[in-house]
Amino acid sequence: MTKEILCGKTVYDIHEMLRIHGYGVSHATQVANNLYKKRIPDIPLFRNIPGKLLRLLSSIADTGFSPPSRSEVSGDKTVKYLFTGEGGKQFETVYIPDKKRNTVCVSTQSGCRMGCPFCLTGRYGYHGDLSPGEIINQILSIPEAGRINRVVFMGMGEPMDNLGNVLKACRIITSEWGMALSPRDVTVSTVGITTGIIEFLEESDCNLTLSLYSPFAAERSRIIPAERKYPAREIIEILKHFPAGKKRRFSIAYVMIKDVSDTDSHLEELKKLLNGSDIRVNLLPYHTFSGDSANPSSEERMLHFRHSLVLSGISASIRRSRGADIGAACGLLASGLGREIN
């Protein structure tokens, strides 16, 4: 008999599975707590579960926890993990330790089909969506799971292209019966699929980040194909007028490329685009890869952008690069696929 996989199920899914055996929501909650809060990998080790229920679960279900197959540690202590999911699809996860925030960057797809040429994940191609369980497993099955207090959906894949599974994963991460992280500690990043963004905003309280690349539509459409169907300006207008509340954050991820996206005209257009909004700008250093002719902006130029944005009333910060030496930084995931990692 094929066993049910618990990882990726909501408490309501678990109750539906147990209901026919006479168990209620309280029992399903106990199971979910052992799974998501206590992170117990084997059902026989579950605690505070009636013996009869424990025996039933052991016979019909499995936690579904699956550890990474490889890992690599950066000089800055960032760790990149390689997972192999259903059907052999591969995807990478990054753990980023810091003084106060320990972040895990999860993937939502194996590869990506958005086709952005500056991103190595896009060059790897699309190999399948990840299930809610495969997304959650990236958080629960790494050695640092107990330290994680922040989750970002900024790994491989476009979250809005796998939205149903992403929303379910967000519910598990933020629900009291699940991992119980605050929605303010969960951020989903997208290149912009308008229909998906609207549904995400309505169905989730988690933060949202839009990867902009350029404030000029014609320029952006050459690099981010999604711009042709889903203009960034329209998405930003939606974010400007959506009632986010005090605790939810909308951001722009802006990659700084020397003489490409860091000119004065780009800066002025960015100001116009975000004028009068509470949208924050995260300035990201560009990461080069083999065969790439582009170069990152200088630190002086990045500081100038930040200073000018702040003076114009736009909240802005420079995001420090982590894990670039192991291909774990933004835009570099999938660089390790196909080669051995110790």
Residue 167 covered by a domain = yes
Residue 211 covered by a domain = yes
Same domain for 213 and 281, yes or no, is yes
**317: β partners:** 282
CATH number at residue 18: 1.10.150.530
**152: β partners:** 105, 187
Tokens of 336: 């390790």
pLDDT digits (tens, 9 = 90+) for 242-259: 987 768 999 999 999 999
Same domain for 24 and 110, yes or no, is no
**CB contact set of 222 (below 8 Å; sequence gap of 6+):** none
Angstrom distance (rounded) from CA 326 to CA 154: 16
Same domain for 180 and 196, yes or no, is yes
Same domain for 127 and 177, yes or no, is yes
Q: What is the pTM of this model?
A: 0.93
Q: How many domains does the chain have?
A: 2
Same domain for 54 and 171, yes or no, is no
Same domain for 151 and 208, yes or no, is yes
Q: Residues with catalytic annotation?
A: 92, 330
Residue 335 covered by a domain = no
pLDDT digits (tens, 9 = 90+) for 5-59: 999 999 999 999 999 999 999 999 999 999 999 999 999 999 999 999 999 999 9
Q: Is the pLDDT of residue 222 over 50?
A: yes
pLDDT digits (tens, 9 = 90+) for 110-155: 999 988 877 777 778 899 999 999 999 999 999 999 999 999 999 9
Residue 334 covered by a domain = no
Same domain for 207 and 277, yes or no, is yes
Same domain for 58 and 84, yes or no, is no
Residue 338 covered by a domain = no
Residue-range definition of the domain harbouring residue 244: 70-326
Same domain for 136 and 256, yes or no, is yes
Same domain for 177 and 298, yes or no, is yes
DSSP 160: G
Same domain for 126 and 273, yes or no, is yes
AA identity, residue 240: K
Helix axes 163-174, 194-203, angle to 10 degrees: 20
Angstrom distance (rounded) from CA 274 to CA 97: 31
Instruction: Tell me how far apart the 2 most distant CA atoms of the chain are, in Å.
Output: 69
Residue 280 covered by a domain = yes
CATH number at residue 163: 3.20.20.70
